[in-house]
Amino acid sequence: MRPPSSNQYHQHRGASYVALLMLLLPAFWPGIFSPLDHASPSIFSEWNAPRPVHLSLLKGAIQRHIADEQRSDLWSPLPPQGWKSCARSLDTPGFPKKSSGYIQVFLDGGLNQQRMGICDAVAVAKILNATLVIPYLEENSVWKDSSSFEDIFDVEHFIGALKYDIPVVRELPKELSWSTRQYYAVAIRATRIKTAPLHASMNWYLENALPVLQSYGIAAIAPFSHRLGFDNMPEDIQRLRCKVNFHALTFVPHINALGDALVKRLRRPVHSSMSTGGGYLREMVDELLDRETGKFVALHLRFDKDMAAHSACDFGGGKAERLALAKYRQVIWQGRVTNSQFTDEELRSQGRCPLTPEEIGLLLAALGFDSNTRLYLASHKVYGGEARISALRKLFPQMDDKKSLASREELSKVDGKASLLAAVDYYVSMQSDVFISASPGNMHNALVGHRTYENLKTIRPSMTLLSQLFLNKSLPWAEFEQAVRFGHKNRQGQIRLRKPKQSIYTYPLPDCMCEA
């Protein structure tokens, strides 16, 4: 089939002495290797290393005493809450043999925004009785990552998991091979649907996308992020979206393997968790210690420059940092950031400022986690480098990330690729005993929903409560600790029903779950 004419759309082996020394040194000299391989503050010309903002609370946190009973409660798994998964469809054919055409979608954003877009794309294909082409992932404008669907997700599993729901193909047939990202980038095309509104209804697609499919046999939807609503959808469409998110989307084997290796090392005593550089020595250590079952917390800091600038909050880096972040807002968003019209105190009193590494450390300490707690930092980059997280590290010295736990060889397939690194963090966070995020966002939302679906403990910080507590500079530690514990008593994974307009990917009940 030829493309429509212009008239139609006129608009390891052999461990060395040095390697052995590298293995043994951390046990006798803790801290000799920094768990975070971030840039030193000296290269951040706009940034002055901030001093701790909450000195009194930090002192109280360092001197805190935690009762054994409280420590036990923190790590205990969630009890059954009366709900179970019902997102899987029956293994019987669920679509007509003749498809109405092919659906292409082009997805922007980071890994988790794209993940939600993939789920919506499957639902739209089902609504239109169309064949879905494996979604095209746009290069991320912030992280400059061009990883494809096949680089991140297991395509064979994805296709197989949906074989009774919709037909999925890796690529278009030859007669439609002209329909590419480049084809739609240079002119108006009759086969491109550019006007899909945010959170569009099912009827919108039937009225606007189906005629394109019937006319040309293909429809390319771009932009597609958040282009399908959550309300007034048939139950089978909602269940299908849940099935894609929680069952059909699995990472490629090498990401899962790296994630499993990191989890094993996080569950071991600290002295055995440091990187040995790979090879035979690493294999030997892994084999000797693979029965350890220690617990760990996955912490998503989400404290990169993009987030810091968009929040318009003051993070203690002084005048130079404030000016640099204001300039960044102007360049990236032309100053169009709603928070910019408020003062820092107003933003904080409304709970609109992300928690700093220092503040998330104080929260964890108040909840009862002690200095022996293993922390896994699920973060791409911390704005401000090592100095920014110094207070957090003082409270929780047993803190690791991907680079401190894995060898260069193990990281070689993912290093420098933001989406793959995020996938590793997602995988490890799903295996953690407790997950907590410093602020809402796509990673936070995706993991909260997925862990709710699996009934796993997930702490949701009360941003409004914490902001009010942190604004009180004279608050003693005992009162802060008591307020935090009381305010988070029912924010540790208890199931909440989805409200209108909320995402099923964050709140999977009742759309994805049934009473047990």
Q: Where along the chain do its domains lie? A: 31-63+253-439+458-491, 102-232
CB-CB neighbours of 41 under 10 Å: 17
* Tally of CA atoms within 13 A in the half-sphere of 33 that contains its CB: 21
In this structure, is the dihedral angle defined by the CA atoms of residues 133, 231, 86 and 422, taken in order, positive or negative?
A: positive
Judge contact between 446 and 507, C-beta under 8 A. no
Q: What is residue 431's three-state secondary structure?
A: helix
pTM for this prediction: 0.86
235-243 and 111-127 helices, crossing angle to 10°: 140
Q: What is the DSSP string of 178-208?
A: T--HHHHHSS--TTEE--PPTT--HHHHHHH
Spatial CB neighbours of 453, under 8 Å, sequence gap ≥ 6: 85, 87, 242, 246, 508, 512, 513
d(CA 24, CA 202): 61
Angle CA(238)–CA(240)–CA(242) in degrees, nearest 5? Answer: 75
Looking at the chain, the number of H-run helices and the number of E-run strands are: 24, 13
Q: What distance in Å separates the CA atoms of residue 200 and residue 180, rounded to the nearest whole number?
A: 24
Within a 13 Å sphere around the CA of 279, how many CA atoms are in the beta-carbon half?
11
Task: Locate the DSSP E strands across 383-427.
Answer: 399-400
What is the token pair recorded at 169? 């193909």
3-state helix, strand, coil in the chain (%, to 5): 45, 10, 45
Is the Cβ–Cβ distance between 159 and 168 less than 8 Å?
A: yes
By the 8 A CB rule, do 419 and 138 touch? no
Distance CA(269)–CA(288), nearest Å, equals: 12
Q: What is the pLDDT along the chain (516 residues), one digit of tens a residue?
A: 667 764 554 444 343 333 333 333 343 333 333 344 343 333 344 445 667 889 999 999 999 887 776 777 889 999 999 998 886 655 556 666 789 999 999 999 899 999 999 999 999 999 999 999 999 999 876 667 889 999 999 999 999 999 999 999 999 999 999 999 999 999 999 999 999 999 999 999 999 999 999 999 999 999 999 999 999 999 999 999 999 999 999 999 999 999 999 999 999 976 544 444 555 555 555 555 445 579 999 999 888 888 889 999 988 888 888 899 999 998 888 878 888 889 888 998 888 998 999 999 999 999 999 999 999 999 877 888 888 899 999 999 999 999 999 999 999 999 989 999 999 999 999 999 999 998 888 999 999 999 999 999 999 999 999 999 999 999 999 999 999 999 999 999 999 999 999 999 999 999 999 888
Cross-strand pairs, 434: 297
Rounded Cα–Cα distance for residues 106 and 197 (Å) = 15
Partners of 193 in the β-ladder: 221
CA atoms of 383 and 196, how far apart (whole Å)? 35
Count of C-beta atoms within a 10 Å radius of residue 51: 12
